[in-house]
Amino acid sequence: MILLLEAAASSSPDREAVVTSEGTSTYGELLEDARRVATALRRQGITRFAVVERDAGWVLRLLAGAALSGAEPCQYQPDTDATEFADHASMLDHKFVVSRREDLTGAFEVIRPETLVTVDADSTLRSDEDAEQPLMIRTTGTTGLPKAARHDWRILGKTVAGVRPMPEQRWLLAYGPQQFAGVQVLLHVAASQATLVAPFPRQPRDGLDALLTKGVTCVSATPTFWRFLLAEARSRRVTLPPLEQITLGGEASPGDLLEEIQTTFPGAKVSQVYASTEFGSITSVRDGKPGLAVDSLWSEDHPTSNVRVSDGELWVRAGAGMLGYAEESSTAAGESADAHGTGDVEGEWRRTGDLVEIVDDRVMFRGRKSEVINVGGVKVHPLPVEDRITGLGTVALARVFGRPSKLTGAIVAAEIVPVDGVERADVEAIRAQIKEAVADLPRAWQPRSVTFVDAIETKGGKTIRGMEH
């Protein structure tokens, strides 16, 4: 991160690096402040710290400063509950917390970020490509408690080694910068010496505002984020500006959503990225179709591929993956995938927990292993059911999940956001459409509980499926 920032600041110090709700910073300003942060961290003897900060400008200063000083930052969701934060900070032994929040108390010292940029930068501090540049990234915790993965900027930086400067690009930060995908966006923007547009909050409606008013040209977001953003745009009856690049990740991209994105933004290049906090960025698809191409899988004829399918599950070998989970040595990284339930390890290959099915020439995602709903002994994958429902013209958004039932263990349940809103929608007509849309699925797969809601809850920009408790 610091090396990319130095390159961008050297090339164009006055170029806008980041635009947030709090203001705009140039690459020169970011680098200068990063050097001050590094100096302050060194002087205070801080080698690892937590970050609870909502403004992406501050986040960039802190991450780059930490990389220069060799300290390990670990971001938390900026609006995380104070009690929950204290517990997690204790578990990860964070003695220092950089934050502007006033309500964080616990067995740690809170340092305001402004105080880290008041010192004069130590002119002897130099970035060193060979020195460790640690970074801890916590998982979203969509399917359980968040885990903390140890990374190194030098390894993560390899994924953007081939990125050329594209200073005219303006990337929307739709992910939290504390998420792995958010870190990827920060890296990509710095490597391309482009501008990061980072509103806060980062809800789809805020993203839509940024598209309409901040000259955004590129967006990286989850399919769920896109569904919400497009629904919001339809509701407001606004004309969306053209985009140059759209990147989808974090979840499987349904075919109907890909079609809608391509129709709405006909000039945009659309990429789907397969990545995770643990495995790093593994592969990407640019053909506009859902799933992966079968011929992109590992085989004797394609030995360089990092992806293969075994027993209906996707296996990968890490490209720019983590060094290990918190408290583990780097050499234990291989075993850690097993120890933390992500699955078995076979040599350099690891289970991902993503269930897939080969349909003709595509590898189609069927959902996470942890999302499978057991309906009277029948295993139901929520994603294909959800795809049927979201394909209906009257449905803006849908979430399919498992609802406990004493009679069958679970039933398939669906929450529906109608295009016309709950008040105006003909919900009985939509119920009938849903029934017809899933009629050819096995009976256990058909939703037995359909409720109509104004909004669907997400976590880290992803739809929460699996069993409700």
Binding site for another protein (CB under 8 A): 375-376, 403, 405-408, 411, 413, 431, 435, 443-444, 448-449, 451
Nearer to another protein, 145 or 407 (CB): 407
Nearest to 275 by CA among 227, 243, 307: 307
Residues 6+ apart with CB under 8 A from 283: 273, 274, 292, 296, 305, 306, 307
Nearest-angstrom CA–CA distance, 94 and 187: 25
The distance of closest approach from Cβ of residue 464 to another protein in the complex, given in angstroms and rounded to an integer, is: 19
User: Measured between alpha carbons, how far is residue 382 from residues 333, 373, 401 in Å?
Assistant: 31, 7, 6
Residue 429 CB, nearest approach to another protein (Å): 13
Nearest to 184 by CA among 102, 247, 119, 93: 247
Please identify, using beta-carbon distances, which residue of 59 and 425 lies nearer to another protein: 425
Look up residue 264 and give its amino acid. T
Among residues 113, 105, 101, which one has the least CA distance to residue 73? 113
Closest CB 369 distance from another protein, rounded Å: 23
Nearest to another protein of 310, 449 (CB atom)? 449
Q: What distance in Å separates the CA atoms of residue 401 and residue 31, rounded to the nearest whole number?
A: 46
Nearest-CA neighbor of 205 among 221, 217, 218? 221
Distances (CA, A) of 231 to 16, 192, 432: 30, 30, 22
State the nearest-atom distance from the C-beta of 228 to another protein, in Å. Answer: 25
Q: Of 205 and 431, which CB lies nearer to another protein in the complex structure?
A: 431
3-state SS assignment for residue 326 = coil
Nearer to another protein, 274 or 445 (CB): 445
Smallest separation, CB 393 to another protein (Å): 21
**Smallest distance from another protein to CB 468, Å:** 12
Q: How far apart are CA 16 and CA 328, in angstroms?
A: 39
Q: How far is the CB of 404 from another protein (least distance, A)?
A: 9
Torsions phi, psi for 233 (to 5 deg)? -65, -40
Based on CB atoms, which residue is closest to another protein, 236 or 443?
443
Q: Closer CB to another protein, residue 115 or residue 449? A: 449
Give the single-character DSSP code of 370. Answer: G
For residue 451, the minimal CB distance to another protein (Å) is 7
How many other β-carbons are positioned within 10 Å of the β-carbon of residue 54?
Answer: 21
Smaller CB distance to another protein: residue 115 or 451?
451
